[in-house]
Amino acid sequence: MKRMLSGIKPTGQLTLGNYIGALRNFVKYQDEYEMYVFIANLHCITEYQEPLELSKNLTDAVALYLACGLDPDISTIFLQTDVLAHAELGYIMACNTYLGELNRMTQFKDKTLKNEKNLTAGLYTYPCLMAADILLYNANYVPVGEDQKQHVELTRDVATRFNNKYGETFVVPEPLIAKVGARIMSLSDPNKKMSKSEETNKGCIYLLDDLNVARKKIMGAVTDSVGIIQLDKQNQPGLYNLIEIASSLTERKMEDIINEFVGQGYGKLKAYVADVVCSELEKIQNKYHEIIESHMLEKIMQDGAAKANEIANKTLNDVKQKIGLEIKY
């Protein structure tokens, strides 16, 4: 069975973008692949997080992983800091990554260009830690949204270079990006990614949003003045985004949804998208509350950490030996 690994960094509440672009796919793939899914808490602190809030977000993220359908009996679910090998291989990967490579990473460049203050060294070397996350498990595939493709490509480059230098060590992973839903856009600005870090909350639907709030956000989504229901991503990005959201959640083709609403007003289409999203959120939220009340998280995370440690430590020991980091007695 081929192995798959992915992670989410809960720097806030998980969003509909995380669900459609990532989480939902983990669930789909878990029967077909040996699945490793982790909570990237070390990645969270590359930017300051209020400690109590961070801890709450981590707990919610695990509960949401399960509520969305990840099954701990077949998938390995764990917390990044429960496996010390991530930080250690992360450092080793940083010593095998060139400054030029990190300087090319668009996520970091965007933040630099926005003149954000107090950018940390951790943020800069983030892709090295991400490479370690993936390579420790010899994952064949990494299901992610579009924004993470460049980081997986860097991981491939670093893994290949390491293999050439020190001998075959790592599986070179491939990013797996869905055709529909890999980049869900903000409802208030369809030219920007739907993101947890948005200033106003209007454009982003959170998985734990009150259903009425979520409905209002969709009904208030920015569209255009063209007034025709059709697929034109260039000129009607807001409408396209709404149709893409509905298409990925229902697995209906985008064209079929267009055909159903063609000739009608945007309000009708928005109401349909709101129904689809709210019914999905309702299912997730019901399960989330059951899970929180059942107090099962601790045991699941302990079991996950034990399984993850076993594989990760094996890879780390192999790497240390290959590099010559060990004393031979």
Q: What dihedral angle (degrees, nearest 10) is formed by the CA atoms of 288, 290, 293, 295?
A: -80
| Closest alpha carbon to 143 in 301, 65, 30 | 30
Residue nearest to ligand AMP (CB): 21
Q: From the CB of 301, what's the least distance to ligand AMP, in Å?
A: 18
The two structure tokens encoding residue 127: 């892709």
Subset of residues 135 to 164 that bind ligand TRP, contact rule: CB under 6 A: 142, 144, 148, 151
Query: Does 148 engage in binding with ligand AMP (CB under 6 A)?
Result: yes
From the list ligand TRP, ligand AMP, none, partner contacted by residue 161 (C-beta under 5 to 8 A by kind): none
Q: In this complex, which beta carbon is closest to ligand AMP, that of residue 148 or of residue 236? A: 148
Query: Does 183 engage in binding with ligand AMP (CB under 6 A)?
Result: yes
Q: What share of the chain is helix, strand, coil (3-state, %, to 5)?
A: 55, 10, 35
Using only C-alpha atoms, what is the Rg of the chain? Answer: 21
| Closest alpha carbon to 30 in 9, 6, 53, 50 | 6
Subset of residues 226 to 285 that bind ligand AMP, contact rule: CB under 6 A: none
Size of site (CB under 6 A) for ligand AMP: 16
DSSP secondary structure letter of residue 191: T
Query: Does 111 engage in binding with ligand AMP (CB under 6 A)?
Result: no
Sorted by sequence, the CB contacts under 8 Å of residue 17 that are 6+ apart come out as 145, 184, 193, 194, 195, 204
The two structure tokens encoding residue 252: 């209906």
Q: In this complex, which beta carbon is closest to ligand TRP, that of residue 134 or of residue 229? A: 134
From the list ligand TRP, ligand AMP, none, partner contacted by residue 134 (C-beta under 5 to 8 A by kind): ligand TRP
From the list ligand TRP, ligand AMP, none, partner contacted by residue 184 (C-beta under 5 to 8 A by kind): ligand AMP
Q: What does the buried/exposed string (b/e) look like for 67-92 if buried means 16 or more CB atoms within 10 Å of the residue's CB?
A: bbbbebeebbbbbbbbbebbebbbeb
Q: In this complex, which beta carbon is closest to ligand AMP, that of residue 94 or of residue 178? A: 178
Annotated catalytic residue 196: yes
Set 196, 216, 307, 322: catalytic member? 196
Size of site (CB under 6 A) for ligand TRP: 14
Catalytic residues, by residue number, are 111, 193, 196
